[in-house]
């Protein structure tokens, strides 16, 4: 009887440990967010969202103030519409701007929300019009290589070579 009682307690302890590890893994992968704050929804349009994903953080001054709720393609404007859930305790001016930023060189992408100066604040259903799309590393590298190739061609022309 004593052995089965110990086995039961060990089993409960192992189960609690497994649940805790699962919770931490989901939290670290940004797949689970536990927030009991009320949110208001705003949207923004971007030409290129790069690798931005739903549940990505929305940060202002380095503090997480909301999350990306969804990303859909708007077939009328041919842009990506990003829907954001901003925590109600944070109020931002209507002329605020959004940038898609990257944590580190190749880290995950998040939205940077920079407050504007207008007196009126964003409310549910508003659209943030001032946006800056994601910087795509491959396009930056190709622009650099093309500019270096053009410099090489100009140098050859200056020396009389064709």
Q: Residue 31: pLDDT band by 50, 70, 90 thresholds?
A: low
Task: Determine the pLDDT at residue 133.
Answer: 83
pLDDT of residue 69 exceeding 90, the answer is: yes
Euclidean distance between CA atoms 118 and 135, whole angstroms: 28
Higher pLDDT, 154 or 124: 124
- 34 pLDDT tier (thresholds 50, 70, 90): low
Tell me if residue 13 falls in helix, strand or coil: helix
- 3-30: pLDDT as tens digits: 788 888 999 999 999 999 998 887 777 6
Least Cα distance to 122 among 133, 111, 130 occurs for 130
Angstrom distance (rounded) from CA 68 to CA 56:
5
pLDDT score recorded for residue 114: 93
User: How distant is the alpha carbon of residue 83 from its chain centre?
Assistant: 11
Q: What angle do CA 20, 26, 31 make, to 5 degrees?
A: 150
pLDDT at 67 over 60: yes
Q: Rounded to an integer, what distance in angstroms lies between the CA atom of residue 54 and that of residue 68?
A: 5
The answer to whether the pTM exceeds 0.85 is no
Comparison of pLDDT for 136 and 97, the residue scoring more: 97
pLDDT of the residue at 44: 94
Average pLDDT over residues 133-148: 79
What whole-number distance in Å separates Cα of residue 97 and Cα of residue 58? 12
**pLDDT attached to residue 58:** 93
- Top-confidence range, 2-11, 60-69, 150-159: 60-69
Q: Where are the domains of the chain?
A: 1-32, 39-142
What is the mean pLDDT of the segment spanning 22-44? 79
Residue 67: CB atoms within 10 Å: 20
């Amino acid at each position: 009887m004593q052995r089965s009682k110990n086995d039961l307690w060990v089993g409960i302890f192992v189960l609690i440990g497994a649940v805790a590890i699962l919770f931490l893994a989901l939290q670290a992968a940004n797949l689970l967010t536990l927030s009991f704050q009320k949110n208001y929804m705003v949207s923004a349009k971007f030409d290129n969202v790069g690798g931005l994903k739903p549940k990505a953080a929305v940060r202002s001054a380095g503090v997480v103030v909301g999350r990306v709720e969804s990303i859909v393609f708007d077939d009328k404007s041919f842009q990506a519409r990003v829907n954001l859930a901003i925590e109600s305790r944070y109020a931002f001016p209507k002329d605020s701007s959004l940038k898609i930023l990257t944590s580190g060189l190749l880290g995950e992408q998040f939205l940077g929300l920079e407050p504007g100066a207008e007196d009126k604040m964003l409310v549910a259903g508003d659209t943030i019009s001032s946006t800056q799309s994601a910087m795509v590393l491959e396009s930056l590298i190709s622009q650099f290589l093309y500019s270096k190739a053009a410099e090489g061609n100009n140098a050859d022309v200056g020396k009389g070579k064709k």
